Amino acid sequence: MVAGAGGLGSTVLNLLVRLGIGTIHFFEFAEIDLPDLNRQILYNSENIGKPKCRIAFENLKKINPKVEIIAHCEKVIEKTEIPEVDLVFDCLDNFTSRYILDDLIYPKGIPMVHAGVSSYFGQLTVIIPGKTECLRKVISVDAARFDEKINKEIFPPVVTTMASLQVSEGIKYLTGDFKNLLYEKILVIDLLSNSFDVINIK
């Protein structure tokens, strides 16, 4: 399942479909606007003003019609019913929504590949119930205050870089490669200085 089909989500979905993941659920509720186009690779200028959910579904089916894609044209909220899935990709753009997602899936034992971006920076970690704490504890912030102050000017390459890394970690999880999986750790990148740092959080 992919939560969000914006900057991170459009690249994650694109790669998952090209890899032939059998069934993919995704959640998205927003419409496409012009600033989206510098980093949201599922959309183009002809799609401005249209629902991301519908356009993403149509374009993904064109890429690989054999993949079963289930579009949920809605926002992830406290009452959202999470489908039965093996893994969730957190491609949301604020911590208020991320913590809601975390609260919905962690008690169900569903792992999550989290990523976040801002300016030239990105962060990534894998949350696995029973092996790690929930996202709310691994990355603890005052969500409302953090979301209010977050820098929304984002360097587009950091988005596609982090989304690609999310898919890479997701494939490791799905194939059982826990030796190389980024859990109990956070990857922090800065594309301005070309630094990639792994922080142990065990």
* Residue that wins the pLDDT comparison between 144 and 172: 172
Helices (H), the chain: 7-19, 52-63, 95-105, 135-138, 143-149, 156-174
Distance separating alpha carbons of residues 174 and 181, to the nearest angstrom: 10
Q: Is 2 helix (H, G, I), strand (E, B) or coil?
A: strand
**Are 112 and 138 contacting, i.e. CB atoms less than 8 angstroms apart?**
no
Q: What span, in angstroms and rounded, lies between the C-alpha atoms of 103 and 71?
A: 21
Question: Does residue 174 have a pLDDT over 90?
Answer: yes
Query: pLDDT tens across 18-60, in order?
Result: 999 999 999 999 999 999 999 999 999 999 999 999 999 999 9
- Tell me the C-alpha distance between 104 and 120, whole Å: 30
User: pLDDT value at position 141?
Assistant: 79
The pLDDT of residue 147 is 67
How high is the pLDDT of residue 122? 96
Whole-number Å distance between alpha carbons of 136 and 73 = 25
Q: Would you state the pLDDT for residue 185?
A: 96
Q: Which residue has the higher pLDDT, 139 or 176?
A: 176
What global pTM score does this model have?
A: 0.96
Architecture of domain 2-200: 3-Layer(aba) Sandwich (3.40)
59 CB-near residues (< 8 Å, 6+ apart): 42, 43
Paired sense of beta strands 185-190 and 121-127, if any: antiparallel
pLDDT (tens digit, 9 = 90+) per residue, 98-156? 999 999 999 999 999 999 999 999 999 999 999 999 999 998 877 778 767 776 789 99
Q: What CA–CA distance (Å, rounded) separates 188 from 121?
A: 7
Domain ranges of the chain: 2-200
